[in-house]
Amino acid sequence: MAAPLEIEAVISAGARLAGGQHLVTMVVPEIARAASPGQFAMVRCAEGWDPYLRRALPFLRLEEESISFLFAEDDPALVWLARRPLGERVSVVGPLGRGFDLQPATRRLLLATQTGPVAPLLGLAARALASDLCVSIVLEAAAARNLAAIVPGAVEVIPAPAAGFWEVVAEHLTWADQTAIAASMEDLPRWSGLQTLRPGQVECFVAKRLACGLGWCGSCLADTHRGPRRVCTAGPVFDLRELIG
């Protein structure tokens, strides 16, 4: 895993999407080339020290020279980030954490999120499409509409109702070689019926507020079968079998 770097990234694009989501792209080749889908960066979202804490953002796109983030403007710090003009510099630390492990034998990849961030899953989709894999994503219908501008056309979108969402995902698990989901710890009990998962069959990006993102503060512990583990360093991507049951 590459050592994290602290770099002044240059804002190169920004766009507001349907549903209140914001897309920001920054030129920072050193991080773009070192990062993998599922990892994240800690982004300073202020000119000074208020707010003091950086914001943890998973990568949406990883290009040769640039990185992109997708976030809701539900936090004054992220509103500040969304308002940065093109050309402005923002301090970014990354890449951080453990990303997805796209296995060599995988040909059909299933993605799903209901309440977790879609950005790390779309980052994985881009990486999988570049390797000619078949990719499908399960989304609620409203989310699918809001994300239509950024979900690659080659990705099959499977709409699911809010109630019974995870049952739809479970039906599709049977044909997928590998599945990646994004969920909060509170969502995970929905998966506890899946006791027969094989190792690596389902990986989960755990959505959790990260204060330092560097393993220092201990505020991001998740209960796993290996004991409490820091989401920012042991994750944010875990084998789902570590988290449920």
- Which of positions 155-214 make contact with ligand FES (CB under 6 A)? 210-213
* Residue 77 CA, distance from chain mean position: 19
Instruction: Confirm or reject binding of residue 215 to ligand FES (CB under 6 A).
Output: yes
Q: Which uninterrupted H or E stretch holds 231?
A: helix 231-234
The nearest distance, CB 115 to ligand FES, in angstroms, is 20
Site for ligand FES in 110-149 (CB under 6 A): none
- Pick one of 55, 61, 98, 230: the residue that binds ligand FES (CB under 6 A): 230
Q: Is 220 in the site for ligand FES (CB under 6 A)?
A: yes
Q: Which of residues 219, 223, 225, 228 is near ligand FES by CB under 6 A?
A: 219
Q: How far is the CB of 209 from ligand FES (least distance, A)?
A: 8
Any idea what DSSP says for residue 242?
Answer: G
Which residue intervals of 12-164 are DSSP H helices? 29-34, 76-82, 119-130, 141-146
Question: Going by DSSP bridges, is the β-strand pair 108-113/178-184 parallel, antiparallel, or unpaired?
Answer: parallel
Of 45, 37, 49, 55, nearest to 82 by C-alpha is: 45
Residue number with CB closer to ligand FES (60 or 232): 232
Which among 141, 113, 111, 145 has a CA at the least distance from the CA of 126?
Answer: 111
Q: For ligand FES, which is the closer residue by CB, 138 or 232? A: 232
What are the residues binding ligand FES (CB under 6 A)? Answer: 210-213, 215-220, 230, 232
